[in-house]
Amino acid sequence: MQPVALRPNVVAMAANRLQKKSQPVRFGGDTPTPKAQPDALPDPRTTFVPGLAGIVAGVSSVAEVDPNLHSLIYRGYDIRDLVANNASFEEVSYLLLNGKLPNKSELGQFEQKLRSQRDLPTPVLNAMLNHTLPDNSDEMDVLRTYVSMLGPHDPDAGKNDPAANQEKAIRLIAKIPTIIAASYRISHHQKPIKPDPSLNQAENFLYMLTGQKPDPLTAQVFNATMLLYAEHGFNASTFSSRVTASTQSDLYSAITSAIGTLKGPLHGGANQEVMRMLLDIGSVNNVDAWIDNALAQGKPIMGIGHALYKNGDTRAPILKKMAEQLSRQHNDMKWYDMADAIEKKMMAAKHLYPNVDFHMAYLYYLMGIPIELYTPLFAAARVVGWSAHAMEQLSLGKKSLIRPNSLYDGPRGQQYIPVDQR
């Protein structure tokens, strides 16, 4: 496989991250480690970078995260522009899957496909109704299990061509919100609510969860949250989806891998923990003392800081503005005021900015969404990006396999001793 030439700015960004963020661990073995050249990436044959931080692991046209420019780009479109122009989640889904914004006819057809695919296969719904999983199961375990179960019931099961995978992606985007809402209601001994084909993705999920159609502002804000969660480059769950797809496995396997990865607290779950933190603080008057105590104990402040964005997550200010609007509509500024106080406190104390999960937490809370569903909702949006990346990886065919090396750091020269002599 021939190496892919990268744009100079991509290489420079990767080298910059390596120098600033990581201390590579070098293992010489019997061969002296070559001395690194200034401003050069470490020799991949002899250098281990924890977490692959700053390592360029692939080339993608799906999205670009550029912390230096404080930007997140979906297929060439700045997300700030997409949100400002009230782009729908359906439009952005089409964009990420197809590489271009749809015209009116294409969007109409895409929306119709999504609305027609929301119902779950009968065996999957019956598994929920029969309480196949314990009612107290982690919601991410539930989602992972039922998404995996969808695979064999897909009309295109066994097919792995681009056309079939496009249809599979649409079904996943359509059905995952149904899984989340239906499984939650059933586990709480409530009847599931059938999807409403007259509603868009944002409206329909809130309706299936609560039984009430959302007001226009709530629907608009929830649509924007889904848009902002839809894609974010080579994050851990996206990378796991690409690794699975790189073996030429199927799309459901790739998405199941991604969901399992997102469950881990070092990647997903921050939005849930932010809300639990706000509930624990209880009042804006308690913010200073609570944060001081947490910092004194070396505890992280959830929703503050980001692995890539050091000058602010471009999505956070968008959500803060929406959070203020929704808080005023609810005549409840408690959570907004607390979050604002925490943000100012952390900027003064640590010069750290909020990330996408910070304001997302109490936005969901204002909408009446249970805290344990926050991370599954992340998945309901990010399945678009996961699918786009998995299909991009699959398109590489026989050249797609991701198979890195490892550096052995164990003992050598061990001699076998029979078990009765040990």
Instruction: Please give the positions annotated as active site.
Output: 306, 357
- 3-class secondary structure per residue, the chain: CCCCCCCHHHHHHHHHHHHHHCCCEECCCCCCCCCCCCCCCCCCCCEECHHHCCCCCCCCCCEEEECCCCEEEECCEEHHHHHHCCCCHHHHHHHHHHCCCCCHHHHHHHHHHHHHCCCCCHHHHHHHHCCCCCCCCCHHHHHHHHHHHHHHHCCCCCCCCHHHHHHHHHHHHHHHHHHHHHHHHHHCCCCCCCCCCCCCHHHHHHHHHHCCCCCHHHHHHHHHHHHHHCCCCCCHHHHHHHHHHHCCCCHHHHHHHHHHHHHCCCCCCHHHHHHHHHHHHCCHHHHHHHHHHHHHCCCCCCCECCCCCCCCCCCHHHHHHHHHHHHHHCCCCHHHHHHHHHHHHHHHHHCCCECHHHHHHHHHHHCCCCHHHHHHHHHHHHHHHHHHHHHHHHCCHHHCCCCCCCCCCCCCCCCCCCHHHC
Long-range contacts of 212-221 (CB under 8 A, 24+ apart): 214/367, 215/329, 217/325, 217/326, 217/329, 218/326, 218/329, 218/367, 220/86, 221/322, 221/325, 221/326, 221/363, 221/367
